[in-house]
Every structure is written in structure tokens, then in C-alpha cells.
Amino acid sequence: MTTPGLPDSRVNRTFRRSDPLAYLVGGMFAPLLPAAVIVDRAGLPQPAFGLALCAVLSAAGLVTAYLAGPAAGFTVTPDTVTITNPLVRYEVPRHLAEGFDQLDNLAVRLRVRGHRPIEVRALVPGLGTDRSRRAVSRDLDRLEQFLTEVPVLPSAGAPRRSRRPLTIAMLSVVVAGFAGVVALGASLGVFSGS
């Protein structure tokens, strides 16, 4: 229900990073898990190591595809601008969002009145693919249009920064998995020269 004289608070615009290279990496590594099960059933030497390695590589590919792709986003609502970077989320009261600056290295920052600018990772390719300045500028124009299109409700407060525990946990599990695979390989003698 809307209040007379105020814009509808349900109106919003969202932009998510889309990085084809990240999706390609995820697609290449995801099939390793079924391959690991086949290796385990084939009776090859050190099947536990092969299964563990394939499972970790599969998880790493999927986590990489997510973190380098849609984990970064930008949402504008009438009272908040939310910048979702892969490991951190910023919520900026709408009245403090002043616009964007594009740096020489294609990085984009949201100017926040009275506060430090905030990097918008949704416009930067996650795996370092070569995006042209024109493509970044086109996406930046969309974000600027979001700020113009979505009506502003009165808002108060200061920007808030919060960690994204789920993405941090996903990354931690992959790192711990690699450490576990190395430890398992060492205990099985996989890395010895004999």
C-alpha cells in the first residue's frame, strides 16, 4: 500500500554482474564431481585422493563462477542503494548517493555524501576478462538511470557495511578443501617421487 504523495516503496532496479568467463570456468569444473565417482569406482590407485581432488576442484569451479559472476550486484530502491560486492555488502541511504566516478582502470565508485566512495564491483569483470571502456560506460549509464528512474523516499542514517557470511563460508570451504586434499595426498604418498 502506498502513502499518498510518496512514491511506491516497492519500486526497485537491480543489476547483477554477468561474466561469461566465470560461467565457462564453472561449467568446466562442475563435471569433475561425477568424474570423481567414476574414478573411485574404477579401482585406480589412490581413489580417495582422486575423489577428493575432483570434488574440491568441482566445488572451486562452482564457487569461482558465483563469486566472479552474480555475487556482485547493485540495487536501487526508493530509500536505499545496495552495493553487493562478493564478500561485503553496503547499504547507503538514498539521500547520500550522489552519483558515480569512473577511474582509469575501469573501476567505478559510488560517491556518498560525507563518506568515502564505495567501489561497485558489479561493473568490473570477475575473472579479469577484457571489457572495453564502452561496455563499462554502457553499464554505468544503466546504473545512473536507476538512480534517476527510482523515486526517492525520505531516508536517514549513514552507510552500513556488512560481511556476506555465506560467500565467505563458501570460499573458506574451498580453501579448507584444498588444504585437506594436500594433506590427504601427503599422507598417501601421492607427492613422493617413488
Q: Is 113 a member of any domain?
A: yes
**Structural domain boundaries enclosing 162:** 13-188
Report, as an integer, the average pLDDT of 46-54.
77
Give one DSSP letter per residue of 73-97, joined into a string: EEEE-SSEEEEE-SSEEEEEEGGGE
Q: What is the pLDDT of residue 64?
A: 85
pTM: 0.80
Q: What is the pLDDT of residue 89?
A: 97
| 3-state class (DSSP) for residue 119 | strand
Q: Is 101 a member of any domain?
A: yes
Q: Is 115 a member of any domain?
A: yes
Cell of 110: 559510488
Q: What is the mean pLDDT of the chain?
A: 83
Q: What is the pLDDT of residue 139?
A: 87
Each residue's pLDDT tens digit, 76-98: 999 999 999 999 999 999 999 99
Q: Which of 177, 144, 176 is nearest to 57 (CA)?
A: 177
pLDDT at 1 over 50: no
Strand-pair partners of 82: 75, 91
Q: Is 194 a member of any domain?
A: no
Q: What is the pLDDT of residue 100?
A: 92
